[in-house]
A and B are shown apart, each in its own frame.
Chain A
């Protein structure tokens, strides 16, 4: 009797276990992507402050196109890696955010659709887009004859400054790109606005950097008259060995290591540059418009914007042509819907929404100069820094080999930015390696 009960129990147990397993399996299969299969997937990266603005654009699109549902896919810290794995695995989102420096790697692999194929079928929109676009941004996404994304914003870098701290010190800043200040003037201001307590610890920094340090160093080199590579798209050689480039990088590194007007890499381990500026503990902060919302939401922060300084070999203050755009996956089964989304987000309607939200500096000239954009930036006195930004920008390299160049820049500029090596070391280390990568890509 006991044996029989045991045997039945085992069978029943197995049957129940099998049933539970099958139920779980079918439930997980159903709860996978099945419920949202028809939606247009939109992959983008945004900090928390930007996400709200982007969702507003998506909501506005939903109102004008109720038949198209958009499912957002928010990127992690490394969007390029995420896009590569998504698309290589056959799950490429329909609409992809594109960055000026990394899109070429995807375009070269055939991941992105050449949007000229869609423009050819939509001549009215094509004419409207070409007439209203800021050429420097639009052309950034032109690679090997194809148009792989439409720009949605200018995301070049400039300086945020704390108006209160400058006023208290009786210092002024340039209000336009054309009124450039020099490296020397910039350093003097940095020194004047860096304050220490009795123990010598810095309580207020003259300058902080919220961008990527080795890119920022390159931006100072750009302001000393040196572009990073030649030519701009699919470059054949780098300019990292040029005297102007080296001097610009050295000036940037010295701000932290020699003059102590900016936090060193060690300082930045525990200090958020954004927090320093938002709390009023830094006078100047390098960054792009993507920091604008964070700073404008900060309590008791009275800030404005200004141009970067110009080096002794420079020809004027420069920003970089930073731009993000929107692209369509070449493998997307929903190209028509994706095209409608692109037309909205990068066309007059979506750009007007972007202008009003203050999310980005729009990529269409009319939207940048619209009342909505001005209203969204009412506290900015030097609005010319934004509206004239693209015209005063130099391009960053566009090459499928960018990931390798980026890794080389990070590796070789690290010791320079730590003060362990002079910037002249870039001529023998970074430049030949970068040239080799560009030559053999």
Chain B
């Protein structure tokens, strides 16, 4: 019997028996094996993701000091956060400043760098490797090194500024400069990923469009603005949303650079630090969960808005 004959037999017997015995046993075995293979990952997702998420949502409506009984407070944590905590407005302002201060330079520099790396020039592989190095460095290691760079008196950055006649900048001592410093580090860290995404999108732009534009007399900048940018809009939009999410969730580099209190004073007191401080310094787990869920809702709205805009643009096109 050939394979075709086998199929024919199975197909003809199908109406009488919806699942032929031989195939059904195989399918069952495969399904069981699949379940066994998936089970550990599923378990890990349930234990380390779904449960903490659900528990933090539950805690956001409770008051809990990590040890005593959990007391239901309803929307009390959210009310306190939005109306009675002066640090909320500080954290909100700082988070927005940090997000904008990271997002705009990241996108602008990544576009330029991706466009440069998209050129077919000798030794470009080396520059691409160098450019993507920050992506491979841990945030904490990176922040420790930058801390040394930012040292007011002996840091390399101020030494370079000194050579060109500029006075020492109190990078991590003055609250305003501290925010500039963390934005600088965060931008440096974010550029490689954004560049990878934008470069991939740029490499997907058909070459003949550029050639046609060249024949029409369009210069490099004109080609970039009129061809590249519109055709990588999807990737650009993705970079925007991911950068915003990363900025709003920022914690590790700020913690290492300026301490667990978002200092100096409240110069770098962002939501990530606020959650950490309330949870692990003040032991107020319910309140910290409420902050986390409020941030989640804001990010969800932003992502939803981005999706809505992309779909609307796609429909218009």
Contact = CB atoms under 8 A, between A and B. Distances in A.
B67 A109 contact: yes
A111 B263 contact: no
A87 B263 contact: no
Contacts of A87: 67
Given A266-B152, A267-B153, A270-B151, A109 B283 contact: yes
Closest 6 CB pairs of A and B: A88-B66, A109-B67, A414-B265, A266-B152, A270-B154, A266-B173
B261 A410 contact: yes
Interface in B231-266: 260-261, 263-266
A81 B283 CA distance: 9
Interface string A415-435: 100100000000000000100
Interface residues of A, number: 27
Given A81-B280, A84-B283, A87-B67, A270 B152 contact: yes
A403 B151 CA distance: 28
A29 to B, nearest CB: 16
Nearest to B267: A414
B282 interface: yes
Nearest to A410: B261
B54 interface: no
Nearest to A88: B66
B10 interface: no
B173 A418 contact: yes
Contact of B261 (A85, A271, A411): A411
A80 interface: yes
A199 interface: no
B68 interface: yes
Interface of A: 78, 80-81, 84-85, 87-88, 105, 109-111, 265-267, 269-271, 403-404, 407, 410-412, 414-415, 418, 433
Interface in B133-177: 151-155, 168, 170, 172-175
Contacts of B155: 270
A401 to B, nearest CB: 9
B153 to A, nearest CB: 5
Contact of B153 (A80, A111, A266, A404): A266
Nearest to B174: A418
A105 B66 CA distance: 12
B52 to A, nearest CB: 13
B281 interface: yes
B277 interface: yes
Contacts of B283: 84, 88, 105, 109, 403
Given A81-B280, A105-B283, A411-B265, 17 more contacts: A81-B281, A84-B280, A87-B67, A88-B67, A109-B283, A265-B173, A266-B153, A270-B154, A271-B153, A404-B282, A407-B261, A410-B261, A411-B261, A414-B175, A414-B264, A418-B173, A433-B86
Contacts of B277: 407
B113 to A, nearest CB: 31
B68 A110 contact: yes
Contacts of A404: 282
Contacts of A111: 67
A418 B67 contact: no
Contact of A266 (B170, B263, B265, B266): B170
Interface string B172-206: 11110000000000000000000000000000000
Residue of A267, A414, A415 with highest tally of chain B CB at under 10 A: A414
Nearest to A271: B153
Nearest to B277: A407
Contact of A269 (B152, B280, B282): B152
Contacts of B263: 410-411, 414
B67 A78 contact: no
A279 to B, nearest CB: 16
A271 B154 CA distance: 9
A270 B67 contact: no
Contacts of A109: 65-68, 283
Nearest to B64: A88
Nearest to A433: B86
A404 B86 CA distance: 13
A78 B152 contact: no
A403 B266 contact: no
B247 to A, nearest CB: 23
A56 B16 CA distance: 85
Contacts of A265: 173, 264
B253 to A, nearest CB: 17
A59 B172 CA distance: 43
Contact of B172 (A110, A267, A269, A412): A269
B308 to A, nearest CB: 40
19 contacts: A80-B281, A85-B280, A109-B65, A109-B67, A109-B283, A110-B67, A265-B264, A266-B173, A267-B153, A403-B282, A404-B282, A410-B261, A410-B263, A411-B263, A412-B265, A414-B175, A414-B264, A415-B265, A433-B86
